[in-house]
Structure 1
């Protein structure tokens, strides 16, 4: 049998004997659709496999760390913002006993709510304390904090390395520099231990007059939160540069890094990506740097603080060296793995493939293996994507309402994907495709546009729900690609309006991220997948109308 005959039979087996030409425009579109389905399934499998690979990192010089921020509010519903919250001395004792194995010192941020017991318990385990006095805009609450802080400092002077009067007060705008100066002088006159104030390093440069009211400067250097975020590869060099800049601005003054660290989860910020691997990378490299210079420092923080997600988004809750259950996130030597249970993503993909096949049986109007293969590929890709979204929800969702809202959104995405996959399978198998209601695509256009607006105008703390929107966006893109150009209906006015805005809004998000965030590029891609078929249908329908 000669080669042309073999090739013809192979093409017929793929596209079906009923096709007039294996290289017709429709068959070429199906070829690209097959390629897209295969790539989506492979991308899902590869992503889960990749985050399960151990990453080689430099070892820390020691597992022991000089000082760490300590807040005990890590259980569900606990927050220092609740004036009635109280942490028992037994819990603080349990925490400090464990922390004393790896840390020489703890930094607290406020008095009251049980935290006044920290110095006494820390002394029991041979630890020192940086005692925090919380200041805000409430003068009465400030007076109570100052009174408690002075009393504790007088009672346990031998335990304290210093008293930190106010934390990022100027950054938040709660007090003026003059008001803050008054509190600093009041505490400094009343205690025998060194007094300082802690804020982001730029605010010390903006208010050098405060240096005369403190015994030493305490600066925060957080490369992830900088106005221009710094990548984890350059983060420690950034810390060294900033520390030298502050020392130069205040010659002869002692400067302490009061907060530095990296989040293990949350949205990327330009080149700064939050992950377990990057947190381990930063901390190890910072400790290597700190070991080479005479520099007092404090790492933020001991335990993850779930309550911070309400103020700082997902990333705010995941700066801990230990998670909220007091389990270490990573070792200080050896490779680090982002997701040890990476195989769960593959299992979700397999489950998705079988779910799509089972649903494809219902009211089937096609036959042949091509339809089943399309369902399996689409189902596997959808399962991997939803598993990715669920993993993000584990970090992001704070309460029952957010879990309910997120699960409903995922369920709607899955139902939409099942509906779209049945249409795609029928078309790939050469059968009769089901009709799709306009409201389905319109609903997803609206949902994507709504979230896009949130990212544009209030996106600092919002995650990118790629896994959620991948299902409808990829599904509608394939349907638009496989649809017969001669039978395209004019999209609804609302669809055309939303589709015209989506790429522009996504481009704005990309510009806000400096074009440095791979996730922002993927987000732009999802917007194009959903918007372009509508715009092409609009154009085709206008051409048909003009020809008629």
Structure 2
């Protein structure tokens, strides 16, 4: 038990130890940061905007740390960001959002022109469109027309912002702007780059653009790093890597004289709908307006790690006490090891699920999953206690029977008074089948999907525990086992191949998927006689 406690503390402390303390921060203010003041429940996709008071609060919060802010749209809520920014001494890169709706584009442009002329002391440049060519929303000729329209109507420098490759693809657009504004996001490159290679790449791209447009100033309109989400090859979203990227970029910007805008001020949870967890994790402040880390000094990946470790220990102790009481003849140390594994698995499931439940749908899914994992943990301990005591356990069931239980549940015909006969096997197979479905999505639509380690933390412990207890059934399965196990096996191998050898997270999930596939595949085939 003492070893289990020590292992738990080390398991939580090691990935969350202080790091990056030796990476210096050479400035106390940012040149500019992307500013979107949306809070929980607010989203431009649903036209739910913050209040003027909330925008004022946000600008007042970041004003000591930023020289300017960049906005992306001119038609917002019942406030004018430029007016509020001016009260706090903050300059603006004022943007207009352009899409496929030409009438809405005209309204955005009209609002942009009006704001730029009304607040010339605040708006230092105007950004006509953001990544329009990347999204293929408008032809380059229409974009050029809108740029010329704005240039004729405002006194500020006019620019357009897009990923640097599209400036290289459409260099003729430079004739219509005063500044060439490029986006450099190493995480999102077609060949993703880790933090250790990001600065060299940023310098190379900037110099390439300077050579391509020698007569135009170059601005970096978006540069940054996400703090959470899926790995892309060697590009790792994390708080530590975000801090390292930010500090190294600031140093590089001073060496090279960059005119830059860092993405972004606050985490925007609404972006998860388009970009997954990583889309909601680019902020220097969290969505609840807390700084993710100090600008200088060491950084912890999860500052709350001690609370999760304490929760894991408490859960482990409660589960061990309850199981030992119910099965007093069972050997204590195997139960202690299993209880410790399950306590940590449940704490990890909460840690990896609840902070990323960005809306009511994800919260509901998270609650259902966590309740299911908790029930599976209790059922696994019950079965382990019986086996370690030499007592009989419930008869085995196959995937077809589990599928029938799910159908009966939805029809209201499942009688829970007989739960001992089916609950453990059926629930574990349901998790396995769900993993197979998610694995298919990771193969055919992987870009914005996280690898679901927390979703299957307890099922993975269950597979290992059953193997060690010699409780993995052989044969007796059929089509359901073929389907779940086969999809997991093929999908795990395909996913590992698609993600590549540098994506350790993807390879780790592939190994977990293969582990989940093992029990159903062992059951394929009829029961042997005798």
Question: Normalization by structure 1: what TM-score?
Answer: 0.85
Structure 1 CA distance for aligned equivalents of residues 4 and 493 of structure 2:
23
Structure 2 CA distance for aligned equivalents of residues 45 and 538 of structure 1:
40
Residue pair 1:41, 1:381 contacting (<8 A) in 2 also: no
SS in 1 for 2:259: coil
SS in 1 for 2:256: coil
SS in 1 for 2:167: helix
1:63 equivalent in structure 2:
28
1:374 maps to which of 293, 309, 334: 334
TM-aligned CA deviation for residue 61 of structure 1? 0.3
- Show CA shifts across 1:95-115 (max 9, x none): 223322111111111112248
Change in 2 beyond 3 A, CA 1:497/1:119: closer
2:378 maps to which of 409, 412, 418: 418
Q: How does 1:207-218 map to 2 (within 5 A)?
A: 207-218=170-181
Residue pair 2:342, 2:461 contacting (<8 A) in 1 also: no
TM-aligned CA deviation for residue 51 of structure 1? 3.1
1:526 aligns with 2:512: yes
Structure 1 CA distance for aligned equivalents of residues 140 and 7 of structure 2:
53
1:127 aligns with 2:90: yes
1:5 equivalent in structure 2:
none
2:494 maps to which of 508, 519, 530: 508
1:496 aligns with 2:482: yes
- Show CA shifts across 1:166-221 (max 9, x none): 00111112111111111111111111111000011111111111111111110111
Residue pair 1:258, 1:298 contacting (<8 A) in 2 also: yes
Q: How does 1:136-147 map to 2 (within 5 A)?
A: 136-147=99-110
Structure 2 CA distance for aligned equivalents of residues 121 and 351 of structure 1:
48
2:443 maps to which of 445, 452, 456: 456
Change in 2 beyond 3 A, CA 1:61/1:463: same
Aligned residue pair count: 502
CA RMSD of aligned residues (A): 2.5
Structure 1 CA distance for aligned equivalents of residues 440 and 22 of structure 2:
38
Residue pair 2:451, 2:509 contacting (<8 A) in 1 also: yes
TM-aligned CA deviation for residue 120 of structure 1? 2.5
Unaligned runs of 5+ in 2: 403-425
Question: Normalization by structure 2: what TM-score?
Answer: 0.88
1:220 equivalent in structure 2:
183
2:266 maps to which of 303, 307, 329: 303
Structure 2 CA distance for aligned equivalents of residues 240 and 227 of structure 1:
17
Structure 1 CA distance for aligned equivalents of residues 308 and 494 of structure 2:
31
2:195 equivalent in structure 1:
232
Structure 2 CA distance for aligned equivalents of residues 491 and 166 of structure 1:
57
Instruction: Answer with 1 or 2: which has the greater Rg.
Output: 1
Change in 2 beyond 3 A, CA 1:489/1:295: closer
- Show CA shifts across 1:363-394 (max 9, x none): 64x714x2x33232222222222222222223
Residue pair 1:111, 1:145 contacting (<8 A) in 2 also: yes
SS in 2 for 1:163: strand
Q: How does 1:77-476 map to 2 (within 5 A)?
A: 77-83=41-47, 85-114=48-77, 117-360=80-323, 364=327, 367-368=329-330, 370=331, 372-438=332-398, 439=402, 440=426, 441-476=428-463
1:21 equivalent in structure 2:
none
Unaligned runs of 5+ in 1: 1-36
Residue pair 1:356, 1:375 contacting (<8 A) in 2 also: no
SS in 2 for 1:463: coil
TM-aligned CA deviation for residue 514 of structure 1? 1.5
Change in 2 beyond 3 A, CA 1:98/1:470: closer
Structure 1 CA distance for aligned equivalents of residues 78 and 244 of structure 2:
31
Residue pair 1:107, 1:132 contacting (<8 A) in 2 also: yes
TM-aligned CA deviation for residue 418 of structure 1? 2.4
2:409 equivalent in structure 1:
none
SS in 2 for 1:105: strand
1:24 equivalent in structure 2:
none
2:411 equivalent in structure 1:
none
TM-aligned CA deviation for residue 72 of structure 1? 1.1
Residue pair 2:43, 2:49 contacting (<8 A) in 1 also: no
SS in 2 for 1:198: strand
1:28 equivalent in structure 2:
none
Change in 2 beyond 3 A, CA 1:434/1:88: closer
SS in 1 for 2:93: strand
